[in-house]
């Protein structure tokens, strides 16, 4: 009971705000499902500006040093941040396609490793869930990978929209649980 009180004490008083945030995130995610290409491209622009900001801070740090020539690696990192940021801003379609290819390849590799892990633990409790997870991850990676480069236009936006929906549902559930806890007291 103490653990529940610690978790829901503050939330019980402010559950309405948490519920509103959940509803807002859920609505944003549903809207995002209808505009996955735009959401993906906007996210590339956002990440591009973050990379430029990182490059600026890194460059300032390098040139603030009195012996900046000794910091060649830091300078190289800053220039790579700068190049990546500019590519993401000036060609978000290329950035999105490249990132989607990396995501697809990673999911294929993760799926294969999960399958190997499942077969290693075959016969133990729950190994079937690992097998199912591995198959689904592999299939998802292959769908992305085989649909590339077209999938690069919508996959990232879809992932963001789904995450917004899941976050919204999580906050709504948390708010309702906090309200219920408050009503029990």
Question: pLDDT tens digits, residue range 85-142?
Answer: 999 999 999 998 998 899 889 989 999 999 999 898 888 888 888 899 889 989 988 9
Residue 64 placed within a domain: yes
Q: How many domains in the chain?
A: 1
CA dist., res. 163 & res. 180, Å (int) = 26
153 pLDDT more than 90:
no
pLDDT computed for residue 68 by the predictor: 67
Its pTM stands at 0.69
Residue 175 placed within a domain: yes
Residue 70 placed within a domain: yes
Residue 1 placed within a domain: no
Residue 38 placed within a domain: yes
Residue 3 placed within a domain: no
CA dist., res. 35 & res. 47, Å (int) = 18
183 pLDDT more than 80:
no
pLDDT computed for residue 185 by the predictor: 67
pLDDT computed for residue 73 by the predictor: 84
Residue 110 placed within a domain: yes
Domain that holds residue 125: 8-184
Query: pLDDT tens-digit profile of 27-84?
Result: 999 999 999 889 889 999 999 999 999 999 999 988 887 776 777 888 898 999 999 9
Measuring CA to CA, how many Å separate 68 from each of 61, 63, 75, 86? 9, 6, 9, 24
Residue 2 placed within a domain: no
């Amino acid at each position: 009971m103490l653990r529940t009180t610690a978790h829901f004490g503050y939330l019980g008083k402010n559950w309405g705000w948490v519920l509103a945030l959940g509803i807002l995130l859920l609505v944003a995610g549903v809207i995002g499902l209808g505009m996955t290409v735009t959401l993906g491209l906007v996210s590339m622009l956002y990440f591009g500006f973050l990379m430029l900001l990182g490059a600026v801070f890194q460059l300032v740090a390098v040139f603030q040093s009195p012996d900046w020539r000794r910091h060649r690696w830091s300078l190289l990192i800053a220039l790579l941040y700068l190049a990546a940021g500019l590519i993401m801003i000036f060609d978000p379609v290329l950035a999105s396609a490249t990132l989607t290819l990396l995501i697809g390849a990673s999911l294929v590799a993760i799926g294969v490793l999960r399958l190997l892990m499942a077969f290693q633990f075959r016969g133990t409790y729950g190994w079937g869930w690992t097998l199912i997870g591995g198959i689904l991850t592999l299939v998802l990676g292959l769908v992305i990978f085989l649909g590339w480069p077209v999938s690069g236009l919508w996959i990232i936006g879809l992932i963001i929209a789904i995450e917004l929906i899941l976050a919204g549902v999580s906050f709504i559930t948390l708010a309702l649980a906090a309200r219920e806890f408050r009503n029990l007291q």
